[in-house]
Amino acid sequence: MVVGVMKVKMRAAWVHSLKEKRMELRSLTSKVSNKYNVSVAEVESQDTHQDIVLGVSCVTTDTAHANSILDNILNYIEANSEAEIYDYEIEIISF
């Protein structure tokens, strides 16, 4: 079993309230989880208007497949969100 975990840090300069941020998050997390069948959640900066930190996890049988899934998700987020990705971390764990 292989678990892939990714933390994506983004900045949404156009967001001026937590309500706007949560609307963007709800849309983005549902799109990603439905398209890629992964778990997605906001993991940090819940009370900061313009900072978004998403955690994404997937379970598969192959390290290369987990890495491919997370890379595709990163590209999808970048293409489908107005927020700017300024940092990300990927960790692949084999059991």
Count of structural domains within the chain: 1
CATH number at residue 74: 3.30.70.1120
Render pLDDT for 39-80 as a digit per residue (tens, 0 to 9).
Answer: 999 998 777 888 889 999 999 999 999 999 999 999 999 998
The parent domain of residue 16 ranges over 2-94
Q: Cβ neighbours of residue 70 under 8 Å, at least 6 residues apart? A: 4, 6, 56, 58, 90
DSSP 8-state code for residue 82: S
The pTM for the full model equals 0.87
Given a contact cutoff of 8 angstroms between Cβ atoms, the answer to whether 54 and 85 are in contact is: no
pLDDT 10s digits, 18-31: 888 888 888 889 99
pLDDT of 3 strictly over 90: yes
